[in-house]
């Protein structure tokens, strides 16, 4: 069987429907002449129409599956960080103490230890990774503006 496009299958289906109508129009006369031939012809037309409908249904399912895969791939690509973001991510401070170091702020060892404790045991326990990352970014922005 040759692969056919949707338009060609629809055209064939319309043609079969036309033949079916013609047979139904002359059904009583054709059955009187050769009932067996009429029945086989009518059955073949209906079987061909079912086959076309099945092929169209399968094509629709495959198309839907491809469309869903394309949408999913597009979403994954859109959600993925860009190369520019990945390059800058390694330079981004990972903790409050890193921010202090980045800003060249002079703090005593006791203050550094206090910041580490608050950072690890209080703030990180209360925030999600995304919220913590945003906090670090906001802190950097604030310090850049004020220092």
Same domain, 90 and 135: yes
70 with 96, same domain: the answer is no
**In a shared domain, residues 89 and 71:** no
Range of the domain at 91: 84-146
How far is C-alpha 42 from the geometric centre of its chain's CA atoms? Answer: 44
Place of tokens 């004020």: 146
User: What is the per-residue pLDDT across 8-19, written as a single tens digit (0 to 9) for each?
Assistant: 989 999 999 999
Helix axes 27-79, 6-25, angle to 10 degrees: 160
pTM here? Answer: 0.46
12 and 69 in a common domain: yes
Say yes or no to pLDDT of 87 above 60. Answer: no
CA dist., res. 116 & res. 97, Å (int)? 6
Question: Measuring CA to CA, how many Å separate 58 from each of 2, 25, 72?
Answer: 15, 32, 21
**How many independent structural domains does the chain possess?**
2
- The reply to whether 55 and 23 lie within a common domain is yes
């Amino acid at each position: 069987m040759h692969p056919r496009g949707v338009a060609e299958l629809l055209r064939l289906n319309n043609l079969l429907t036309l033949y079916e109508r013609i047979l139904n129009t002359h059904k009583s006369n054709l059955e009187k002449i050769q009932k067996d031939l009429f029945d086989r012809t009518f059955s073949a037309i209906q079987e061909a129409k079912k086959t076309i409908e099945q092929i169209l249904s399968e094509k629709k399912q495959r198309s839907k599956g491809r469309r869903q895969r394309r949408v999913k791939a597009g979403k994954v690509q859109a959600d993925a960080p860009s190369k520019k973001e990945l390059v800058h991510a390694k330079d981004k401070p990972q903790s409050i103490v890193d921010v202090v170091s980045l800003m060249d702020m002079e703090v005593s060892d006791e203050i550094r230890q206090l910041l580490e404790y608050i950072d690890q045991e209080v703030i990180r326990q209360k925030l999600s990774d995304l919220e913590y990352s945003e906090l670090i970014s906001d802190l950097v922005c604030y310090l850049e503006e004020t220092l």
